[in-house]
Amino acid sequence: MMKGVFLDRKTFNPDIDTQGIASQLTDYREFAMTQAEQVQERIAGVEVVITNKVVISREHMKACPELKLICVAATGTNNVDLEAAEALGIAVCNVANYGTSTVAQHVITLLLMLATNAANYDRDVKRGKWQQSDIFCLLDHPIVELSGKTLGLIGVGNIANSVAQAATGLGMKVVFGERKGATSLRIGRVSFETLVQQSDAISIHCPLNEQTADLFNADTLSAMKPSAFLINCARGGIVNEHDLVAALKQKEIAGAALDVASVEPIREDNPLLSYKGNNLIITPHSAWASAEAMQRLIDDIGVSIESYRQSESYSRVV
């Protein structure tokens, strides 16, 4: 049996059961949050570290020779120095597919909110505008019927496929985009440029890396239809926030909905917060966070620890 710590347990609801993790470890401790300067002390002498967003650096690993396994309580592993882990013989596991249905549900919710202007109508009713209308309804905000429209998906994976299935159920045509700059098209994909120019809504489902950073910048946004919507439930840095605000102000696109920001929690000086238009929706990185998805993720970490105990060569980053 092994010793283990969970460095940022507060990133999960308190009623999520972590017994599946605890049962695999002889000495298990949970910390609500861990600041950068506390990491080294808290992982000292520990064989298993569980982290959602706490950074584990090469220096941390080198100073902790007992460390055998790092479990990332998320899909993204950018908070762990993977090269250092490999060099030092430390296994790293992440969790994929735990939130496929939940994230897809959130994407479709954001798309529907943009198309129906539901949030704006709700606000207007609560401010008394419907009560003051001289007709039976209120028609201050445009409503778009999604049936027959084209949804472009950036990235191919379980979440994108689930979004595609739901959008098809709404009567939408779905297209998958090739990587920007690709010289050939894989079967079932259109060029990035074609997707941007022809889609009525675009949803992003790719990782953040050197190739996708600022993928949606001033040039990309200006190439979109002025009636198009942009949705990002992937990573904040894929969309240039300054350029997005400019595009919304200049009506280069009809609206945007984001569940992520370039720095999280979102900072007060983020240009998205200073934008006063009613065609921008921001949710607080909550697309993944249904109780069901959280429990699946925690349970999978327990399985990963068990698999490592059975075979110390086990390592899984997907």
Residue 160, CA distances (Å) to 136, 164, 228 in order: 40, 6, 18
CA 265 to chain centre: 13
Active site residue 29: no
Active site residue 285: yes
ω before 265 within 30° of 0 (cis)? yes
Alpha helices (H) along the chain: 19-22, 39-43, 58-62, 82-88, 100-116, 118-126, 158-169, 192-198, 218-223, 241-249, 271-274, 291-310
Nearest to 273 by CA among 236, 240, 226, 241: 241
The single residue of 264, 267, 292, 312 carrying the catalytic annotation is: 264
Quick check: 215 and 180 in contact, CB under 8 A? yes
Instruction: Extract the tokens encoding 139.
Output: 């028609």
Q: What share of the chain is helix, strand, coil (3-state, %, to 5)?
A: 35, 15, 45
Residue 16, CA distances (Å) to 142, 285, 298 in order: 41, 18, 8
Q: What does DSSP say about strands 25-30 and 48-51: parallel, antiparallel, or unpaired?
A: unpaired
Residue 206, CA distances (Å) to 14, 66, 226, 286, 317 in order: 30, 35, 23, 17, 16
The single residue of 189, 205, 235, 252 carrying the catalytic annotation is: 235
The single residue of 29, 58, 285, 309 carrying the catalytic annotation is: 285
- As a whole number of angstroms, the distance between CA 211 and CA 232 comes to 16
Quick check: 13 and 57 in contact, CB under 8 A? no
Where b means 16+ CB within 10 Å and e means fewer, 106-138 reads bbbbbbebbbbbeebbeebeeeeeeeeeeeeee
Catalytically annotated residues: 235, 264, 285
